[in-house]
Structure formats: C-alpha cells, structure tokens
Amino acid sequence: MSYTIRVRVIQTKPSVWYSIVEKTNWSGSTWSDVDGEQFLIMETSGKSGMLRLKNHAGDVFIVALGVHNYKRWCDIVVNQKSNQTSVDILPTYYSSGPETRCCGSSWRASRIAPPRAGSSG
C-alpha cells in the first residue's frame, strides 16, 4: 500500500519568511511539488522524508514526516548544528543508537502525531 502526505507551508509574517532549502527522502519515497504544495509519496510503511526550512537570518528548522507501523507521524527538528542537513539527520530516525529519533528500539508511540479530526491526508 502506498501513502501520500500533503504539506502546505503557510506563513503569515513576511519579515521572517522561511524557504524550503532542502528536501530529503528515505529509500522508497519521493517528493513532488504541485502548485506550491509538497507531496511526500511513500511506497510502503516505514518510509519518511524531511523538509529543511531557512529564513534570511539563518534560522533553520526541519519538518520530518513519515509512516511507521501504518500510521502517519511527524516531528520538528530544531537547534541542530549549522552544518547538519536533513541528509545527516534523516538516518537517525532509523538507527538504534543514542540519537534514535523514530523507528529504532527507543522509539515511543507517544511521539506519533495522530491525524487531525476530519483530515483526509
């Protein structure tokens, strides 16, 4: 079964406008841009992707999205080192070391963000 997560970036404060500067995906997933909306398309459960956003002041954060055990999840990564990209961070969601973020042995189901009521994807 394939999965698609639609991401719409809504910004209300132009003075701190963020731009998508990097898109990363785990094997078996791809990003598409359709009319300014981002679509993460995953072949199966256990896949994910990241969007790294940056503003003109150099502030950065990463949005991590995926499907684990057939359920959608998301995470926001802040305070990463300036030289860390989403290519560096994405594998930490699949390891079982001290920096495990998602699908390794220390993953907690409580970190999975459930879909909003009435959400179709």
89-98 — which CB contacts under 8 Å span 24+ positions?
A: 89/50, 89/62, 89/64, 90/24, 90/25, 90/26, 90/48, 90/49, 90/50, 90/64, 93/26, 93/48, 93/64, 93/66, 94/26
3-93 belongs to CATH 2.60.270.20: yes
Q: What is the pLDDT of residue 16?
A: 87
Whether 89 and 77 have beta carbons less than 8 Å apart is answered as yes
The per-residue pLDDT string of the chain (121 residues; one tens digit each, 9 = 90 and over) reads 899 999 999 999 888 899 999 999 999 999 999 999 999 999 999 999 999 999 999 899 999 999 988 989 999 988 888 788 999 888 888 776 555 555 544 344 444 444 455 544 4
Tokens of 69: 């055990």
Q: What is the pLDDT of residue 108?
A: 45
Q: What is the pLDDT of residue 96?
A: 60
Q: Where are the alpha helices (DSSP H) in the chain?
A: 86-89
Taking the C-alpha atoms of residue 116 and residue 23, their distance in angstroms, rounded to an integer, is: 24
Secondary structure letter of residue 26 according to DSSP: -
State pTM to two decimals: 0.77
Q: What is the pLDDT of residue 94?
A: 79
